[in-house]
Structure 1
């Protein structure tokens, strides 16, 4: 972190709005954007200049049992200390060199200007408690309606491999023990929808039981941000200790008023910033309704049934089926 100011983590399951929220917070001009340091794929992950630690799987879990190496690595990342030597030992392609130069410059200037690190990383969601309690980060955790979440994963053809969770004993011990049998039963199963719903249930329970009670964690529903973006982001800026400026307001307004055909998802270039994100500007109406083209009515009903147990225990995630077509988000 810079000059004693806490780093800011934006996390939540992939496709929960982390890229959008991260970019809107970056509009404050007070943050340096760090894209997915815990992503095991390169790019954006496996960049030791950004995070000098080996990441072995998606949803890497860091607990209080760690040997100190994670603490050392994240201390440098949060303080915006770029490790150019470590980066060049691992990544030497033309693309890597250009990316390293941009990150090194951004980190150095940000540190000199007293800016804070903004870690935008959905793969950090299960390590959020450690990052907050042990590393002093603030966190914004996004939770998305399960129907919209499943629809977004369907659109991208994404899957979940439960061995990445089961092979982390500390994660099973601390959080996922009650779900072990269900995960094992779905390994190799053709029931894709059941697997993705189980992931949503598990992570949502961790968020509600382990993260929401922490004073430096803001748990936010993606749908609430989309429905009232200006008011919601003004509140989020205040909670994060950021200045809500006219330019930030204009950035949020522009991001929620452009139509989908004006831009494309996953667009990235070295001129456009430090990250290749899934963020795509669109109107609130588009964001709240596009799931209807991704799941059939029968599939929507099944998602509701498979996630009902968690929704019943945590009323903020309860189904409002009669309003699905108006009030559910999909980004």
Structure 2
């Protein structure tokens, strides 16, 4: 009887949500989304007793893996290749998407904070316990999450706020794969998405950090300069914070594009994921597809073309602005590749 009622309730709740969505005040909708209506395409994740069992007894392999980068750096592509491993439990941006969908104060995907927002804390708690109480956009492969093989798998999380790094290292001790892409390519992608507003520094850094960043105001007149400078400062900060943290790996997007099989095999090994024929086939599918999806968030691409694609897209005058601002802060990468 309980089983029949549970199935009936799960099937009815989405219909009720659609009926009530347009006539209910926003605070009530948010409460309903949080406490009543199912979020997860993984059915068991909507039942508290099973969630408790998973938390206490059916724990995945340790340590978890975090793929971290700035937005528009190729981390969705990398995330789906690692997260598509046969022994992976993949979550795409659980912290960022939870924060943005709840109407987070900053309305940004990456920003500095004194203490993590409550949305980050809640999403991180679920993610690092491997509880997929998220929507389909975050739980990309629901079929991975069966209870029968959960203890033989490893959590793989993809995130796009580099400012979470010290908090994650201190609290969860994951293996960190930090992905960086040529600054011209990332800046062009931001511009293409319409994410090219003013005050790139002021919107993303705390006041005390701004006081320590030399000459950041000099880039205020150009998105291209300001964004390249932000990228440079963020990279240097990440590398400084990761010093002495053994489970940290810096990866350049262009290297993955040029030699995907060997580079991804190395990442699988670092992450503790099983490299087999299926994994190699996945890399081939994601890097040499017969048809390339040109959607802005596509994770299939011709990697041989992608590595240097920005050279045809960024004009010489913009490239000079990017180069000057990037090199101003003396980053260790992309010093000569212009």
Tell whether the structures are fold-level matches, with TM greater than 0.5: yes
Matched, 1:265 2:299: no
Counterpart for residue 39 of structure 1: 96
Matched, 1:293 2:312: yes
For residues 134-162 of structure 1, what are the alpha-carbon distances to aligned partners after superposition, in whole Å with 9 as ceiling and x for unaligned?
11222111111112222222332322564
Counterpart for residue 282 of structure 2: 251
Per the alignment, in what secondary structure is the counterpart of residue 178 of structure 1? coil
| CA distance in structure 1 between the partners assigned to 2:284 and 2:62 by the alignment | 28
Counterpart for residue 75 of structure 1: 125
The more displaced of 109-118 and 298-307 is: 109-118
Structure 1 gap ranges (5+):
48-52, 88-95, 267-277, 322-331
Cα deviation, residue 229, structure 1? 0.8
Matched, 1:242 2:273: yes
Cα deviation, residue 166, structure 1? 5.3
Cα deviation, residue 210, structure 1? 1.4
Higher relative contact order (CA 8 A, sep 6+): 1
Cα deviation, residue 294, structure 1? 1.9
Cα deviation, residue 25, structure 1? 0.2
Backbone CA RMSD of aligned residues: 3.5
Cα deviation, residue 217, structure 1? 1.4
Matched, 1:116 2:162: no
For residues 2-51 of structure 1, what are the alpha-carbon distances to aligned partners after superposition, in whole Å with 9 as ceiling and x for unaligned?
34512211111111110011011022122222121232678xx537xxxx
The structure-2 alpha-carbon separation of the partners of 1:163 and 1:262, relative to structure 1 and needing over 3 Å to count, comes to: closer
The structure-2 alpha-carbon separation of the partners of 1:29 and 1:298, relative to structure 1 and needing over 3 Å to count, comes to: same
| CA distance in structure 1 between the partners assigned to 2:277 and 2:204 by the alignment | 47
| 2:287/2:301 contact within 8 Å kept | yes
| CA distance in structure 1 between the partners assigned to 2:288 and 2:148 by the alignment | 33
TM-score by structure 1 length?
Answer: 0.71
Cα deviation, residue 72, structure 1? 6.0
The structure-2 alpha-carbon separation of the partners of 1:237 and 1:11, relative to structure 1 and needing over 3 Å to count, comes to: same
Counterpart for residue 274 of structure 1: none
Structure 2 gap ranges (5+):
1-54
The structure-2 alpha-carbon separation of the partners of 1:292 and 1:72, relative to structure 1 and needing over 3 Å to count, comes to: closer
Counterpart for residue 182 of structure 1: 216
Per the alignment, in what secondary structure is the counterpart of residue 101 of structure 2? coil
Counterpart for residue 181 of structure 2: 144
| 1:33/1:119 contact within 8 Å kept | yes
Per the alignment, in what secondary structure is the counterpart of residue 118 of structure 1? strand
| CA distance in structure 2 between the partners assigned to 1:309 and 1:60 by the alignment | 21
| CA distance in structure 1 between the partners assigned to 2:288 and 2:141 by the alignment | 34
Aligned residues: 279
| 2:95/2:124 contact within 8 Å kept | no
